[in-house]
Chains A and B, each alone.
Chain A
Amino acid sequence: MKKEIIIGICLIILIAAIAVVIVPGLTIIAPGTSSETVGQPTSMSTIKSSDVAGRSSHNLVLNPSISMVEGTKEMKKILVYKTLPPIVTNEITLDYAKKFNVTGALRAGAVVQSEDLRYGIEISKSSGSVRYVDQDRPNEQMDAPEMLPSDAEAIEIATKFLKDRDLFPEGAAFSKTYRENAITVGEKPERVVFGRIGVWFNRTLNGLKVDGTQLVVYVGGNGDVIGYYANWRNYEPYKEYPITSPQVAFDKLKTKGVPVGMNNPDTMASIDYVYLAYETTAGAYKEDYLKPVWVFKGNVLVDGKSAMLVEQYIPALTDDSVKELSL
């Protein structure tokens, strides 16, 4: 028995040593930091890919310029959160409709839409995600670029809108703004016809980022709120479960490969950014628990330049943990 234990320890040491030798640049980013603010790789120029997409490369390297962050790499366990089943009732749906001033018939307990189809509230029975739409917006008459507020104004409008209607969930934090612009094509110069500003919020749990959570308020001309989407599930702490090491996750990623378009399957992809996070599923699907993941971000390199971005999620729970959670 002791002999077996000694052999096992030796194997672990051996594997760890190999890993250090092969991937000396593996980097683990401190938990809870966002991709917008920390740890982005050095800037790379981007080239256009003109080839057919669909190939994958297993030639992955870790960017040696990024050092490992203390703390996370030693994590052996992670707190897993159970997902609370969504509650969708007539009252809840009508309450949302009231908050967004949508009047119309209630359908299937989860949809309210105005008679002219323009305004609607929709709640997913799978996830509890909520969507508000104004299908006439954005448009050229009301949402031309000069009519849109600044990003700062949009953030203020969106935040106030959410808080005034008790739609600002606990733990939500501003993430980014993103302007979706409709532009003419074929005209020179191209011009922005209209647009809207998405003000995004994210969340952390247990000090880790929850990827996939979506809370966005769309702000249009005159500062009008013209859209809303929230895939913001409710969780409760469940148990701690063992997780794989980032190195094991990286090995899995190499086995899986990353898309490189129609570039040569041997094209190198550089992983520049690794962090432990939770990953929530998209709003169309049910979820039993919040999955811990290792997130790998980087670039597909062609002639030393970035051809396309890499973003991959590798489950962090051990197989035994997943099996236990699924029971």
Chain B
Amino acid sequence: MHRKYILIWLLIFTLIGFVHAENMNVTNQSQGSVCDSGSCQNPSDMTLAETVTTQENILSNETMCSASRALQETMNSQLYATNTVESLSSSSGWDVAVRFDNAPGNSFYPFSISPGIVGTPYYAQLTTSDNTLKWIPYCFRGCGWETCYWAIISRQACEQLSTPCESLDPATTGCICYGGIKNAARIDGWFVERQRITDNLYHIKIRGQSLYQADPRGELWLNPDSGWKFTQVISCGVEQDEGSYPRPTSCGLVNDTMLRFQAAGDCASSCACEDAGGIGIDVIAEKGGVIISPPVADFTATPTSGNAALPVQFTDISTGSPTSWSWNFGDSQTSTQRNPLHTYSTTGKYTVSLTAANTAGSNTVTKRGYVTVSGKTVNYYVFADGVALYHGLDGNLDLPGADTTAQYFYNQMTTGQNRCQQYKGTTYCWDGRNNPVNDNTGSKYWNKLELADTSGANSAEFSFHVGHGWEDGIVFGTLNNFKNTTRSDMRFSRVKWVAFDSCKVLNQSRSGSWGSVFDGVHIIMGFDTDGIPKTDQGPQFVERMRGGTYQGNPYIVTKIRDAWMYTMQDTTHDSTLKGAWIWAVPSQDDYLPGYGPFKEPTKSNGAYTIIWDNFICN
């Protein structure tokens, strides 16, 4: 069963190898004709004289086969001129090298008739005098079976030896003496040979088989400094058969000077020693050559999963000497580097593709859902407070739009599909901490009499107050009273972004005092002169920070402080209106979390530089 496999396989090798070898006769054709007609005889039953006679007449007298057997020898005198045995090292002027890391069952013959040592590299030249393709197949066909062996020296070469026939040592010469005739010995093994086509063009061939052991593997390479390159892979096959089960193998160019072949693994001890392996490799090396076979694209990456932002190192493992690479990472980003590092900023499963190309063409590999990026969600909270009526505050102007302004701000931030927004792999969601004030039941407020967390104001990251203020605080109206909250009473533990849509707050004359409220607060925004809350200010402020649209007007994505300024400029024109900010360096550069870069809220025990700035609305 295994023998049958091998024979078929070797026939394929022979066909592939010989069809492409321009200077070789294709004896398979005659072999076929010889072996097709009549019963065959096991060569071991033949005398050598019969064998030799058969060989000599095989091309001219096909009827010989029908007599009993077939023994074929591929011969081309031009291919067997010499039998060079070189002793080059890695530091000498070598062109081609080979190393077998495993040569199961048979000896390994690296560019010579002398067996090599497994694991040791052997070096040879590709020169005009080196045209010694020395392997020849002996294929024997019996009655219902066929097998092939490989000889590394021809009968003609044996005949030329000066050694007396009876003194020939098969181990060192590859020749035997039988019946007084010098002839090639049949040697089974793993052969690596060179075949000169022209001075600058060589076939490099690896042939061999093992009937009882598997797992041949090794590397063939060219000296990168020699100018030789592999330019074409005519055949590259490795077969391994353990028991009745073919096992995966690989064979191909790693780059234009390196070829690797290997079976997947050695025969397990439990195998019934019916394993087999074989190699049929034919590659063309060309001096100053150009790759004429497209590469086979492939890649690996690490890691292939994780939280955003996820940096992934991609590694090209394409074979066939690609010279350019085109990556598509699946997130609309691309690269032409060979081994790019790419960072995925948003969650999802990403299909990655690599197109590797050389002068002969390109090849694309696509790996679907190859990278999985997970994300986290951060919830931020909004507090909004509008005070329209000032219960108990005699003579104070009511601000009819204050409640609505705050409510619109609150709703705009906490409802709708834009409530959550992803930025660099993290999803930020804005939730409402507390409903806006209802004047009929009393205002919520921050002051020293009511803990901030009770009202909700200080349990939010973003607070928005609309109502009256003055240069050192803000004022709240409650059901039957009003409360002043001075700057000195404000204690923020969580609030980072505060907007006072209130007149007089942050007046320059008191700007220095406001530093006392900063410990983790990023920015406080307000008027420093008389302002008039407008219903549109709340939602416009929100959409400006988001780069959204309000009342049909699209906005750029704007830093928080600038969004405040533009909102004021766009909704007022009174030349006495001034807006102002106070911020802790460098937090004025914050975008709204989810919409751009910002500083994660932190506390530094008040170790900030506090800066005051203002703008005029007209």
Chain A positions within 8 Å of B, measured between CB atoms, are 35, 48-56, 107-111, 113, 117, 120-122, 124-126, 129, 131, 133, 135, 178, 180-187, 190, 193, 198, 211-212, 214, 229, 231, 257, 259, 261-262, 264-265, 279-285, 308-309, 311, 313
- Chain A residues near B484 (CB, 8 Å)? 52
Interchain CB contact under 8 A, A308 and B530: yes
- B303 CB to closest chain A CB (Å) equals 27
- Tell me if B93 is interfacial: C-beta within 8 Å of chain A: no
Interchain CB contact under 8 A, A126 and B569: no
- The docked-state distance in angstroms from the alpha carbon of A281 to that of B475 is 29
11 contacts between A and B (CB under 8 A): A52-B396, A52-B469, A108-B554, A180-B615, A183-B612, A183-B613, A214-B618, A282-B572, A284-B536, A284-B553, A284-B571
Across the interface, name the chain A residue whose C-beta is closest to B582.
Answer: A185
Partner of B612, one of A111, A126, A185: A185
Query: Beyond A185-B511, A186-B512, is A52–B616 a contact (Cβ under 8 Å)?
Result: no
What is the count of residue pairs linking A and B with beta-carbon distances less than 8 angstroms? 153
Partner of B611, one of A56, A183, A211: A183
- The docked-state distance in angstroms from the alpha carbon of A284 to that of B551 is 9
Query: Beyond A122-B555, A135-B562, is A52–B549 a contact (Cβ under 8 Å)?
Result: no
Partner of A311, one of B558, B566, B575, B616: B575
Interchain CB contact under 8 A, A283 and B503: no
Interchain CB contact under 8 A, A283 and B569: yes
- Chain A residues near B566 (CB, 8 Å)? 131
Interchain CB contact under 8 A, A126 and B611: no
Interchain CB contact under 8 A, B618 and A284: no
- Chain A residues near B609 (CB, 8 Å)? 184, 187
- B551 CB to closest chain A CB (Å) equals 7
Across the interface, name the chain A residue whose C-beta is closest to B512.
Answer: A185
Interface residues of B in 359-379 (CB under 8 A from A): none
Contact with A along B465-476 (1 / 0, CB 8 A): 000111111010
- A66 CB to closest chain B CB (Å) equals 19
- The docked-state distance in angstroms from the alpha carbon of A309 to that of B616 is 15
Chain B positions within 8 Å of A, measured between CB atoms, are 390, 393, 395-397, 399, 468-473, 475, 484, 502-504, 509, 511-512, 514-515, 529-530, 536, 540, 547, 549, 551-559, 562, 566, 569-576, 582, 591, 596, 609-616, 618
Interchain CB contact under 8 A, B471 and A265: no
- The docked-state distance in angstroms from the alpha carbon of A231 to that of B473 is 33
- Chain B residues near A107 (CB, 8 Å)? 554
Query: Beyond A117-B591, A214-B569, is A186–B515 a contact (Cβ under 8 Å)?
Result: yes
Interchain CB contact under 8 A, A110 and B554: yes
- Chain B residues near A285 (CB, 8 Å)? 571
Across the interface, name the chain B residue whose C-beta is closest to A136.
Answer: B589
Interchain CB contact under 8 A, A113 and B504: no
- B510 CB to closest chain A CB (Å) equals 8
- The docked-state distance in angstroms from the alpha carbon of A56 to that of B399 is 12
Q: Which 9 A-B pairs give the minimum distances between C-beta atoms? A: A120-B556, A212-B573, A54-B468, A108-B554, A265-B395, A182-B613, A284-B570, A186-B515, A54-B396
- Chain A residues near B547 (CB, 8 Å)? 111, 113
- The docked-state distance in angstroms from the alpha carbon of A38 to that of B471 is 30
- A266 CB to closest chain B CB (Å) equals 9
Query: Beyond A113-B557, A131-B566, is A50–B472 a contact (Cβ under 8 Å)?
Result: yes
Query: Beyond A51-B470, A185-B612, is A117–B551 a contact (Cβ under 8 Å)?
Result: no
